[in-house]
């Protein structure tokens, strides 16, 4: 018998979640993340790379898990992402926050809002803490239902993923989770590494 017990996601993905990729994708990658967490920041470009490689074969879901004791700006950043989401630009703000992790003060958040083209509703929503209760409620669900204790926490097809967060390891795990066999990747990890190297070379060329 395996010593590692499979931990399954209890709170299913709903229309309220922030999702990128089609529902028909054979594999779903879900992240509990925190915009101020350095490890989430490190995982951010990796997920981007995996999304680019897999295209419509991957559905990515992001859920907030702000830990204000260790990351004092994380809750406010989550509010900013939700405020942007109210104007249909959650992912644009998500990208701004992860690429500017060292600058998450309110004036910075307002600057990112302007940069991605949000209107005056952003300032009002932030001033009124419109999404605060929702984020806090979701945090408690994550803590007590899912037993999430840190970030990033990943699930692949609703099973907790505890492997490394480099592109190679994630791609191997995602391919293994594809029971339909729709994802075409090399079988060996080394060959996946070579593929990624060629892609990065093309991106830099």
For 54, list phi and psi in degrees, rounded to 5: -90, -20
Three-state DSSP state, 54: helix
State residue 12 phi and psi, 5-degree precision.
-65, 155
Residue with tokens 């859920």: 63
CB distance 155 to 9 below 8 Å: yes
Confidence of residue 2 (pLDDT cuts 50, 70, 90): very low
Does residue 10 form part of some domain? no
Which CATH number does the domain housing residue 183 bear?
Answer: 3.40.30.10
Q: With 80 as the cut, is the pLDDT of residue 41 above it? A: yes
Q: Whole domain around residue 36: which residue ranges?
A: 18-199
186 in a structural domain: yes
> Is 182 within a domain?
yes
**Six token digits for residue 64:** 């907030």
Instruction: Tell me, yes or no, whether 170 lies in a domain.
Output: yes
CA pair distance 17, 40, nearest whole angstrom: 18
Domain-embedded: residue 135: yes
> For residue 13, is it within any domain?
no
Predicted local distance difference test score (pLDDT) of residue 204? 54
pLDDT of residue 1 exceeding 60: no
pTM of structure: 0.93
Provide the number of structural domains found in the chain. 1
Residue 196 has a pLDDT of: 83
Per residue in 101-145, pLDDT (tens digit) is 999 999 999 999 999 999 999 999 999 999 999 999 999 999 999
Question: CB neighbours of 135 closer than 8 A, spacing ≥ 6?
Answer: 64, 66, 75, 78, 79, 82
């Amino acid at each position: 018998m395996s010593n590692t017990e499979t931990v399954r996601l209890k709170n299913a993905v709903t229309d309220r979640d922030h999702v990128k990729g089609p529902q028909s994708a054979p594999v779903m990658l879900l992240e509990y993340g925190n915009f101020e967490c350095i490890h989430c920041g490190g995982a951010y470009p990796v997920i981007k790379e995996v999304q680019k490689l897999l295209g419509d074969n991957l559905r990515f879901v992001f859920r907030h898990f702000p830990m204000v004791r260790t990351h004092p700006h994380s809750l406010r950043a989550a509010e900013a992402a939700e405020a942007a989401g109210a104007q249909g630009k959650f992912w644009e703000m998500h990208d701004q926050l992860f690429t500017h992790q060292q600058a998450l003060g309110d004036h910075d958040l307002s600057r990112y809002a302007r940069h991605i083209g949000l209107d005056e509703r952003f300032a009002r929503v932030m001033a009124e803490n419109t999404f605060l209760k929702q984020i806090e409620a979701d945090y408690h669900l994550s803590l007590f239902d899912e037993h999430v204790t840190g970030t990033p926490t990943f699930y692949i097809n609703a099973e907790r993923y505890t492997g490394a967060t480099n592109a190679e390891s994630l791609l191997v795990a995602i391919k293994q989770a594809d029971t339909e066999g729709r994802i075409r990747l090399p079988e060996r990890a080394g060959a996946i590494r070579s593929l990624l190297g060629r892609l990065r070379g093309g991106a830099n060329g």
